[in-house]
Amino acid sequence: MSLILAIETSCDETAAAVVENGHRIRSNIVASQIELHRPYGGVFPEVASRQHVFDIVPVIARALSEAGVDWADLTALAVTAGPGLAGALLVGVNTAKAIAWSRSLPLVAVNHLEGHLYSNWLDEGDRLTTAALTRPTLPELDAAGQAFPLLVLIVSGGHTELVLMTGHGQYRRLGATLDDAAGEAFDKVARLLGLGYPGGPAIQQAATSGDPTAFDFPRALTTQPEHRFDFSFSGLKTAVLRQVREFGETALPVADLAASFQAAVVDVLIAKTADAAAEFGVGRVCVCGGVAANRALRAALADRLPGAVSIPPLFLCTDNAAMIAAAGHYRLHRPGPTGLDFDVEPDLALPVEA
């Protein structure tokens, strides 16, 4: 049995988790800093680092006690090395190194994006979509040697990528955003509409009473052959800005604007994902990252994509350490422990094949 303690401090959540065999969550502790950053309308990096310093030890202690494990029970440690905020990452990485050194435990450095992807391997990870209910879960497929190839849609605050996964740790990038990430677009448009931080949940909430067809916002399908699977959200953001300006002093129809913006993002994400699945003949799509928590996107993925779709439950879409433990489990197996001689990498990209 493998028992991995993972630590995640890449942005504004201090998180630690214990995961068994890469699938079973024994504990998953997340100390969120949302309230701390709300007055700034976004994450204040220095404040985030300081809060991680305060929270990291109690969060780890709680992850161990809720899992009912002791240091001696652990197989290895995993920690997010990037991408993320340098000062925030440093807190997690240095804590993990100190523990690994003092307890003589192997340490695995994990890419945060790979972590999001592996949220689909956690036991709860497959239970959400109606299609998935009647299909084997990823851990089951994996055990039978049939999990790959998979199409992965990563939609987080900093990244929007379509990736073909051909094996554990083996990725081919099919497309990425040419400008803003999907979550970034949600956050910026929320600001334009005077909604709070974080923007994604605020837009989703406002959109519930809005008409998604009220405004015909552009769907940037970037059809040039070299950009077929790329995304672009900055034109959509500008279209919302223009519309907001047109209203001038008149009260904004915030709900309709939010619903129409959200529908445009969802349409583009679904269209590109469906095209890529067809082109590469992939029968199963995994979705992950903070924006995968969006209700309209989840419903559209289940209704409009042919084949099986895995979407993690809400608590595993946003940043957490269980996903880092799951990714760490596979990395520990191959290529093996990282050692202590690595640094944080704020701009780390998913390790794709050439």
Residues found near Zn ion in the complex (CB under 5 A): 156, 319
Q: Is residue 200 part of the contact set for ligand KG4 (CB under 6 A)?
A: yes
Residue 201 interacts, among ligand KG4, Zn ion, none and using kind-specific CB cut-offs from 5 to 8 Å, with ligand KG4
289 binds ligand KG4, rule: CB under 6 A:
yes
Chosen residue from 294, 325, 338, 350 binding ligand KG4 by CB under 6 A? 294
CA-to-CA separations, 34 to 94, 230, 292, in angstroms, rounded: 23, 30, 18
CA distance 294 to 296: 6
Among ligand KG4, Zn ion, none, residue 293 binds (CB under 5-8 Å by kind): ligand KG4
Using CA of residue 138, residue 308, residue 125, residue 185, what is the dihedral sign? positive
Q: 207, 300 in Cβ contact below 8 A? A: no
200's contact among ligand KG4, Zn ion, none, with CB below 5 to 8 A by partner kind, is ligand KG4
Q: Which stretch binds ligand KG4 (CB under 6 A): 89-97, 136-144, 182-190, 273-281?
A: 182-190
Distance separating alpha carbons of residues 304 and 319, to the nearest angstrom: 26
- Is 183 among the residues that bind ligand KG4 (CB under 6 A)? yes
Does 11 bind ligand KG4 (CB under 6 A)? Our answer is yes
92 binds, among Zn ion, ligand KG4, none (CB under 5 to 8 A by kind): none
For 236-261, the DSSP string reads HHHHHHHHHHHHTTSPP-HHHHHHHH
Residues 325 to 354 in contact with ligand KG4, rule: CB under 6 A: none
Can you tell me whether residue 155 is helix, strand or coil?
A: strand
Closer Cβ to ligand KG4, 141 or 350, answer by number: 350
Q: How far is the CB of 68 from ligand KG4 (least distance, A)?
A: 28
- With binding defined as CB under 6 A, does residue 210 bind ligand KG4? no
Looking at residue 266, its amino acid is V
Smallest separation, CB 160 to Zn ion (Å)? 12
By CB under 6 A, is residue 124 in contact with ligand KG4? no
**Minimum gap (Å) between residue 14 Cβ and ligand KG4:** 13
- What is 66-102 written as a DSSP string? HHT--GGG--EEEEEEESS-HHHHHHHHHHHHHHHHH
Q: How far is the CB of 9 from ligand KG4 (least distance, A)?
A: 12
Q: What angle do CA 186, 190, 195 make, to 5 degrees?
A: 145
Phi/psi for 322 (5° steps) reads -60, -40
Confirm or reject binding of residue 212 to ligand KG4 (CB under 6 A).
no
Nearer to Zn ion, 59 or 308 (CB): 59
Is the Cβ–Cβ distance between 327 and 114 less than 8 Å? yes
Instruction: Return the residue of 14, 33, 51, 156 that touches ligand KG4, per CB under 6 A.
Output: 156
Contact 122, 23 (CB under 8 A): yes
What tokens were used for 136?
A: 């084997």
In the complex, which residues of this chain contact ligand KG4 (CB under 6 A)? 11, 156-158, 183, 186-187, 198-201, 204, 289-291, 293-294, 318-319
